Amino acid sequence: MSEPTPEAPDMKTNQLKLMMRDAATRAGQTGTTLAPGGGNPLQSALASLEDAWVSPARERTTFAENLSGAGTAVMSAFDAQADHATSLADAEPTEVDADDPLEGWKASRSRIATRASAPYGGGY
């Protein structure tokens, strides 16, 4: 009697990796669409403020600095999100065994969506 041979793994494309790469790309591109030329998205508001609020008051300067800082923070947040998604994607294998109980869910976009929508993000 011959011994059973183990089945070959059912290797599939890691859809989670692809989705993370897509998220990184979108985050990186969104920052550049918020302002012409990809600069501070609040630059036009700052320019209008400088034209409209002519005053040597410290409040005006402080407000303008805060507005500029907020725009910079928005851009930094998109960049950080893109970097984070890229690092997560880099850590994922290109293919996963679709039959593996721990990794198989990564081969199906619907299973990924189900896990991500579970309470507390499903822990992915």
Q: What is the pTM of this model?
A: 0.77
Q: Beta-carbon neighbour count of residue 95 at 10 Å? A: 16
Query: Which amino acid belongs to residue 40?
Result: N
Output the six-digit token pair for 31. 């920052």
- The domain locations on the chain are 62-118
Dihedral angle at the C-alpha atoms of 102, 17, 34, 36, nearest 10 degrees? 170
Q: Measure the CA–CA gap between 18 and 35, rounded to whole angstroms.
A: 28
Q: Measure the CA–CA gap between 111 and 106, rounded to whole angstroms.
A: 7
pLDDT tens track of the chain, all 124 residues?
556 557 889 999 999 999 999 999 999 988 778 877 778 888 888 888 878 888 888 888 888 888 889 888 988 999 999 999 999 999 999 999 999 999 999 999 999 999 888 776 555 5
